[in-house]
Chain A
Amino acid sequence: MDLYNNQKSTSKIKRDASVNDRIPDGLFLACPYCGVQMYNKQLGAFRVCDHCGYGFRLQARERVELLTDSFEEMDSEIEMMNPDFPGYADKLARAKSQTELGESVLTGVAKIEGEKVALGIMDSYFMMGSLGSMTGEKITRLFEYATENFLPVVLFTASGGARMQEGINSLMQMAKVSAVVAAHQEAGLLYLVVLTDPTTGGVTASFAMQGDITLAEPHALIGFAGARVIESTIHEKLPKDFQRAETLMTNGFVDQIVPRSELNQVIAKIVKLHHVTEV
């Protein structure tokens, strides 16, 4: 039986145990959607998986860079003044330093391919983009500004839903923002939503689903209830593409799925088609 037990055939190359320690963190990534491993730089400026087209989550300020010709931030000073829930202040402080934002949304007036819009971008790196009262306040003011100045609103949604630490006040934001969406709508102005990964919970159940036109990024997770909650309610395993942008489009809730690199052109085109023609 020595034939099968040939000691000599074992590899003479020693495995270097420390090799993993010498590779810097974040050099290689796995796509959260398709799972394919790739070299970080392969993602390119838009940070898109070149295998499946999934757009990696971006910070609001990164998106401004990619999307706009110019951007003038508004209400940057607005932030939660009295976070009284235990541990909330610490979480806020960490989120602020990570994102250089005062809240989970960045708002301002932007030019996208020459088109002037009121732009809001939610940041999932800020407490999972949760809807706090100051998040709601910034979005509300964005709509009020847009209505006063006859501007379209372009809003990029990214949110895990309500901000638990703020309790019922977080829920009230859904109605507060809806009130200004209604006023903006009545003024005959365009509200364009871009659903990005992830848009869930209270944001989906309010302003994310109130747009005149709704775009989405490829494979973005969009839904109301969390997948785990649904699975434990109906005792059934959910399919892989459940609550993904493509499924929502099939079901009739998304107008178009637009790759990140084309978003600025598509947005500008839609805005242009809503110019009020002088009579």
Chain B
Amino acid sequence: MVNIGLNLFKHELTPAEVVKKSREDRFLAREIIDGIFTDFVELHGDRLSGDDMSVIGGIAALNGTPVTVIAIDKGIDIHDKLSKRNGSPEPWGYRKAQRLMKQANKFHRPIITFINTPGAFPGKTAEAQGQGEAIATSILESMKLTVPMIAIIYGEGGSGGALALATSDQVWMFQNATYSILSPEGFASILWKDSKRADEAAAVMGLTPKDLLAKKVIEYVIPESRSHTRVFNLMRKRLDDEFKQLNALSPQDLVKQRRARFRAF
């Protein structure tokens, strides 16, 4: 009887349940940043056309070592969510990220990105300002960075809009996060002309951390806990360990290894 009880509460979530959970506002970007790093200094703007609120960037210290942090944030209240388009960056958000990546490269700072986005914003201005080019350049520039980069998907990892910040040496995911080519709704509507079959789509898309770990799309699944501090402490420790290893590589080897990581697909 005891066993049945335990299984009832500990059952593994179905992909559709993970999708639902990944969209809940469980973690805020600022909370994660402040939880893992110290001395965070936020830096604004892409120096070209504006400052995208949905992309939070800056410098901070990880156990005393300077790092560059870039995070996509969905916002918490309605006002915040509207200004951040629920975590859908505009082209100038990606260009802000590119600026900070280049800066990190100059000062030999490791880069950590935190991703929670349904996708890049599909808007009129976004297209006019080159949403495609902004993502394409983010990916291309990430391939050239000579500093280590780790991407962490903490909610939704929506398509190219997520990949723009996840062309990294390692990709990690929170236990209840997703990473996919498209939302299950979009997937169902394209393939089956019926967006209501989203749950079914979620099941076949292989978007859960477990599926992606098996496919080697990601390296590590971060176990979630009701105590956020516990999650942050774990991440700080692991980031520190991984960066120590990545820093041991020569810049050439690091770039080579990052490119080989994606060449395998």
CB-CB under 8 A from A140, the residues of chain B are 263
| B140 is an interface residue with CB less than 8 A from chain A | yes
Q: How many residues of A contact B (CB 8 A)?
A: 52
- Report yes or no: A168 in contact with B207, Cβ–Cβ below 8 A: yes
Q: Which 4 pairs from chain A and chain B are nearest by CB?
A: A225-B122, A204-B132, A172-B265, A209-B136
The interface stretch among B52-60, B175-183, B234-242 is B175-183
Contact stretch, chosen from A67-75, A92-100, A113-121, A230-238: A230-238
- A contact residues around B212 at 8 Å (CB): 168
Asked whether B191 is an interface residue with its Cβ less than 8 Å from the other chain, the reply is yes
Q: How far is the CB of A73 from chain B (nearest CB, A)?
A: 22
How far apart are B27's CB and chain A's nearest CB, in angstroms? 22
What residues on A are CB-neighbors of B163 within 8 Å? 171, 174-175
Which residues on the A side are within 8 Å of B137 (C-beta)? Answer: 209-210
What is the distance, in angstroms, from A180's C-beta to the closest C-beta of chain B? 8
For residue B135, which residue of chain A has the nearest CB?
A: A205
Which residues in B have their C-beta under 8 angstroms from that of A229?
122
Interface size on B, residues (CB 8 A): 44
Cβ–Cβ contact B124 & A242, under 8 A: yes
Residues of the B chain whose Cβ atoms lie less than 8 Å from the Cβ of A166: 181
Q: A171-B181, A175-B163, A206-B139 are in contact. List 14 more A-B contacts (CB 8 A).
A: A162-B181, A168-B181, A168-B206, A169-B215, A175-B139, A178-B262, A180-B259, A204-B133, A205-B131, A205-B135, A205-B160, A209-B136, A223-B127, A229-B122
A176 CB within 8 Å of chain B: yes
Among residues of B, the one whose C-beta sits closest to the C-beta of A88 is B191
Q: Indicate with 1 or 0, residue by residue over B235-265, a CB within 8 angstroms of chain A CB atoms.
A: 0000000000000000000000011001101
Q: Does A136 contact B (CB under 8 A)?
A: yes
Interface bits A231-253 vs B (CB < 8 Å: 1, else 0): 00110101000110001000111
Complex: chain B residue closest to A160, CB-CB? B190
A251 and B144 CA atoms in complex are apart in Å by 27
- Chain A: which residue is nearest B159 at the CB level? A171
Are A171 and B160 interface neighbours, CB within 8 A? yes
- Interface presence of B231 (CB below 8 A): no
Closest chain-A Cβ to B218's Cβ sits at a distance in Å of: 10
Contact B140 A210 (CB under 8 A): yes
The residues of B that contact A204 with a CB separation of less than 8 Å are 132-133, 136
Q: A167-B181, A181-B140, A202-B160 are in contact. Are A176 and B265 (CB under 8 A)?
A: yes
Q: Which of A168, A179, A183, A209 contacts B179 (CB 8 A)?
A: A168
Give the complex CA separation of A164 and B163 in angstroms.
16
Contacts of A207 in B (CB 8 A): 136
A173 within 8 A of B: yes
